[in-house]
A = this chain, B = another copy of it.
């Protein structure tokens, strides 16, 4: 990660690389990045912000493609299952992945006022000892910090 997602950066390149990565991955794995799925990914990529499924529906509607909830949820499900986007549990919302290919265990910093989200890597073996002791088989982890992003700290 050359920058944090909160800092100013060349966002157009951000979008371009993420889309290219998604295309390449789909190509390589025989997945279909259909128009709807691609458009939803682009919408998520417009900012490092968590968007709800209904936000996405609204934008699809605004650009003349009205759609019902299952359309958004299916596209999001595809993107999340294949690692192109992530769900932010705290917000019941979604963000585009900014580390395509290396995000098996993502962690997020979530601004509670503006919903900006920065992605980073979760400490790799966190909770492994406790899980072993409890006989619990970990399949996935949710690691999210809530707080204030630099911009919102400055604004207060």
In angstroms, Cα B123 to Cα A92, docked, is 24
Given contacts A118-B136, A150-B135, contact A141 B130 (CB under 8 A): no
Given contacts A90-B89, A123-B123, A127-B123, contact A147 B142 (CB under 8 A): no
> Smallest Cβ distance from A6 to chain B, in angstroms?
5
B143 close to A147 (CB less than 8 A): no
A109 close to B89 (CB less than 8 A): no
Shortest beta-carbon contacts, A-B, top 4 = A4-B134, A135-B150, A89-B89, A139-B147
B146 close to A127 (CB less than 8 A): no
> Smallest Cβ distance from A1 to chain B, in angstroms?
9
Given contacts A109-B134, A135-B153, contact A143 B140 (CB under 8 A): no
* Beta-carbon contacts under 8 Å, A98-154 to B: 107, 109, 111-112, 118, 120-123, 126-127, 130-131, 133-150, 153
In angstroms, Cα B133 to Cα A20, docked, is 27
19 A-B pairs within 8 Å (CB atoms) are namely: A4-B130, A6-B135, A89-B89, A90-B142, A107-B126, A107-B130, A109-B131, A120-B130, A121-B130, A123-B123, A127-B143, A134-B149, A134-B150, A137-B148, A138-B145, A138-B146, A138-B147, A139-B147, A143-B143
